[in-house]
Amino acid sequence: MSYEVLARKWRPRLFEDLAGQEHVIRALVNALDTGRLHHAFLFTGTRGIGKTTVARILAKSLNCDQGVSSRPCGGCLTCREVDEGRFVDLIEVDAASRTKVDDTRELLDNVQYAPTRGRYKVYLIDEVHMLSGHSFNALLKTLEEPPPHVKFLLATTDPQKVPVTVLSRCLQFNLKRLSGEQIAGQLQKILLAEDVSYDDASVALLARAADGSMRDALSLLDQAIAFGGGKLVERDVRDMLGTLDQDSIERLLQALAANNPQGLLSVVAGIAEHGGDYEAALDGLLLALHRVSLAQVDPALASDNNEQREQVLVHAGSLSPEDVQLYYQIGLHGKRDLPLSPDPRTGLEMVLLRMLAFRPAPAPGIQRQEGPASAGKTPSAKVGRAEPKAEPKAVSNTARTETRVWSDIVEQLDISGILRQLADHCVMETDTNGRFVLVLDEAYGQLHSREREAELKQKLEAFYGKPVKLTFRIGRPASETPAKEKSRMKDERQQAAEQAIADDPNVRALQQNFNARVRPDSVRSKP
């Protein structure tokens, strides 16, 4: 038996099977169930979202042997013939190949005759905007006074090219582009039904690459299954699509956070070595910046994927919201200019370097906090945090008492990345005889795991020089966490810096004599 491609095999047979077009389905279902049927329907929208599929289901509903209904039986001879594309009273026309007026007249000469088998003679004209002006005139005469046994179903991706005289005689339905979540959900249903193993990341990649088109998504799914030998794996799907692996995107974000131009160029060199797509790399960075910006607004919006969620939260803490917005805007403009560059690699490198070069300059007398690559220094290998790590203070054995403030302990621990984020959002509830109870802020509960708890326990034991017992509790801390303390102190320093600028006699003189004003966003406090 010959293989049937997924786009045909899983083509919806009923209105309820259509994904993401509820506004269109509701109107058609009500019209069919109440008998208020117009003679001409126009379906518009981008490719592969279901225009001709909706039209065929409507033709089946009109001619089902069980009667006109919004839910055709699917088992009668008429329904089967419509599904198989051989129903004699469903005349499908590709307007792109039949644009001449003679073709249209020949087609419409048979309108006056009654249907051969069905209840209605249905004309389905795809890409109707491709008809010539004379062809539209010929069609218009029939649309003005059609016989009662004829229905016209028109579909187009470019309704602006359809004459208003034709538009005014049709009921218009604009089908929406499908969201990535809608496409991913449909792909997962199909993969389960087809008994194909997959991971969520590979499905998300296919849904994003489909760009709102379900037909494109199913075609890519067919290709990905063949590429992966009957299963979907993220690395295989990335290779097939030519998209960048997540590790490279992570390294780009880390280099941006550390103000590390050498790190950025190193990632681009790796992309070149593996024959990667430079535009796809920029797209991946823009998507990552978008997720970081959402996480800065609300950590719950970081990501549905637990591993990516943790990475996004780290970047949300190491990058300022202002820089994230700036990098996104520069990247967006850079994507537009990428084809104009001497070669794609040069274009990408200049976009990334431009992100660092155009970071807001600090006001005179106010130091901007920079990463380890500032002032010509060699960039550090650890770039997870934007600020240089302070030298650890000497701690005597006698100072290691249970009364030590948790924020002071965290500063002395040799931890970074997600583990540091975890510690920063805790407070110490109990510290008795080597037994620690930490309360983790419930807003950051996703940072906790058994592995990180065990790692933090090891760090505490190394710090105290003796075994400790560590317990976590997720809830609302009764006191200020190190993260909130840092945020408060940063705000206080910022307010002090702004007040110092406002009280400066030189600034006041400029304001009085030249009507100058201070931009609050240009003032940066000392770290």
Q: Residue 344: which CATH number?
A: 1.20.272.10
Residue at 389 is within a domain: no
490, 469: one domain? no
Q: What are phi and psi of 237, to 5 degrees?
A: -65, -40
Residue at 381 is within a domain: no
CATH code: domain of residue 223: 1.10.8.60
Which residue would you say has higher pLDDT here, 383 or 70? 70
DSSP 87-126: -TTEEEEETTT--SHHHHHHHHTTTTSPPSSSSSEEEEEE
Give the residue-averaged pLDDT of 468-485.
Answer: 89
* Six token digits for residue 337: 């200019």
116, 81: one domain? yes
pLDDT band at 304 (very low <50, low <70, confident <90, very high): low
* Longest CA pairwise span in the chain (Å): 103
Q: Which helix (H) or strand (E) element contains residue 470? A: strand 469-475
Give the residue-averaged pLDDT of 275-304.
Answer: 84
**Digit-coded pLDDT (tens) for 48-62:** 888 999 999 999 999
Per-residue model confidence (pLDDT) at position 326:
92
The CA–CA distances, whole Å, from 59 to 120, 134, 506 equal 8, 27, 79
Which residue segment(s) compose the domain that 500 sits in?
A: 484-522
The CA–CA distances, whole Å, from 180 to 5, 211, 419 equal 22, 8, 32
With a cut of 80, say whether residue 86 has pLDDT above it: yes
**Digit-coded pLDDT (tens) for 404-444:** 578 888 988 889 888 999 999 999 888 777 888 999 998 88
What is the rounded CA–CA span in Å between residue 177 and residue 188? 19
With a cut of 50, say whether residue 281 has pLDDT above it: yes
Q: What are phi and psi of 229, to 5 degrees?
A: 70, 35
With a cut of 70, say whether residue 217 has pLDDT above it: yes
Residue type present at position 347: G
Q: Which helix (H) or strand (E) element contains residue 43? A: strand 40-44
Give the residue-averaged pLDDT of 182-206.
Answer: 90
Arithmetic mean of pLDDT over the chain? 83
Residue at 388 is within a domain: no
Per-residue model confidence (pLDDT) at position 78:
92
With a cut of 70, say whether residue 397 has pLDDT above it: no
69, 99: one domain? yes
What is the rounded CA–CA span in Å between residue 111 and residue 142? 8
296, 340: one domain? yes
Per-residue model confidence (pLDDT) at position 392:
40
Residue at 375 is within a domain: no
Per-residue model confidence (pLDDT) at position 376:
36
Residue at 369 is within a domain: no
What's the count of helices (H) and strands (E) in the chain, helices before strands? 22, 8
pLDDT band at 306 (very low <50, low <70, confident <90, very high): low
What is the rounded CA–CA span in Å between residue 300 and residue 317? 14
Give the residue-averaged pLDDT of 208-225.
Answer: 89
Which one of 459, 479, 499 terminates a domain? 479
283, 317: one domain? yes
Give percent of the chain with pLDDT exceeding 70: 87
**Digit-coded pLDDT (tens) for 360-384:** 755 444 444 444 333 333 333 333 3
* Six token digits for residue 423: 């510690």
Per-residue model confidence (pLDDT) at position 64:
93
Per-residue model confidence (pLDDT) at position 446:
86
What is the rounded CA–CA span in Å between residue 427 and residue 473? 10
Which residue would you say has higher pLDDT here, 377 or 308? 308
Per-residue model confidence (pLDDT) at position 31:
92
101, 128: one domain? yes
* Six token digits for residue 405: 């403030």
12, 115: one domain? yes
For 379-434, where are the E strands, in sequence order? 426-432
Beta bridge partners of 436: 431, 470
Per-residue model confidence (pLDDT) at position 527:
59
Per-residue model confidence (pLDDT) at position 400:
38
Q: Which helix (H) or strand (E) element contains residue 505? A: helix 505-514
With a cut of 70, say whether residue 525 has pLDDT above it: no
222, 315: one domain? no
345, 431: one domain? no
Per-residue model confidence (pLDDT) at position 414:
86
Which residue would you say has higher pLDDT here, 522 or 346? 346
63, 208: one domain? no
Per-residue model confidence (pLDDT) at position 99:
64
Residue at 447 is within a domain: yes
Give the residue-averaged pLDDT of 504-510.
Answer: 82
CATH code: domain of residue 459: 3.30.300.150
What is the rounded CA–CA span in Å between residue 227 and residue 236? 7
Per-residue model confidence (pLDDT) at position 244:
65
Residue at 372 is within a domain: no
What is the rounded CA–CA span in Å between residue 385 and residue 318? 5
With a cut of 70, say whether residue 394 has pLDDT above it: no
**Digit-coded pLDDT (tens) for 477-495:** 888 899 998 888 888 888 8
How many distinct structural domains can be found in the chain? 5
438, 493: one domain? no
Per-residue burial over 382-397, b if 16 or more Cβ lie within 10 Å, else e, is ebbbbebeeeeeeeee
79, 142: one domain? yes
The CA–CA distances, whole Å, from 91 to 12, 297, 306 equal 20, 53, 51
With a cut of 90, say whether residue 63 has pLDDT above it: yes
With a cut of 80, say whether residue 96 has pLDDT above it: no
Residue at 503 is within a domain: yes
